[in-house]
Amino acid sequence: MDYKNIPISESVSIPVPVGLTPDEEANFIAGRIAFVNFEELEAKIREALQQLDEGKLVSLRSVLEEIERESPTNDGSHA
C-alpha cells in the first residue's frame, strides 16, 4: 500500500494511505493519534532533553518506539 505524508503541525506529519477521501484521511489520522498520551510524551521528551543536557545522547526514535510499545494498541488498530 502506498502512503503520503499529511502535515498535522509545522514539524509533524502522519503517513496516510493514498486514495482516501478527505473524510477518510481525517478519520485515519484521528485513529492514529487517539491513543497518544500527550502527558507521557511530554514527560519522555523532557527526560530526553535533561539527559541531553547531561551529555547523554538519546535517540528520538528509541523514545518514540518505547512509547509505541507501551501504547494500548501498537498495531495501529482501534481498540
Q: Domain segments of the chain: what residues?
A: 1-34, 37-79
Partners of residue 6 on adjacent β-strands: 14
Give which of 32, 58, 35, 36 is closest to 46, Cα–Cα: 58
Angle between helices 38-53 and 60-70 in degrees, nearest 10? 150
User: What letter does residue 66 receive in the DSSP assignment?
Assistant: H
* pLDDT in single tens digits along all 79 residues of the chain: 899 999 888 778 889 999 999 999 999 999 888 777 888 888 888 888 888 888 887 677 777 888 888 876 545 554 4
pLDDT of residue 27: 93
H-helix or E-strand containing 32? helix 22-33
pLDDT of residue 55: 81
Q: Give the three-class secondary structure for 7.
A: strand
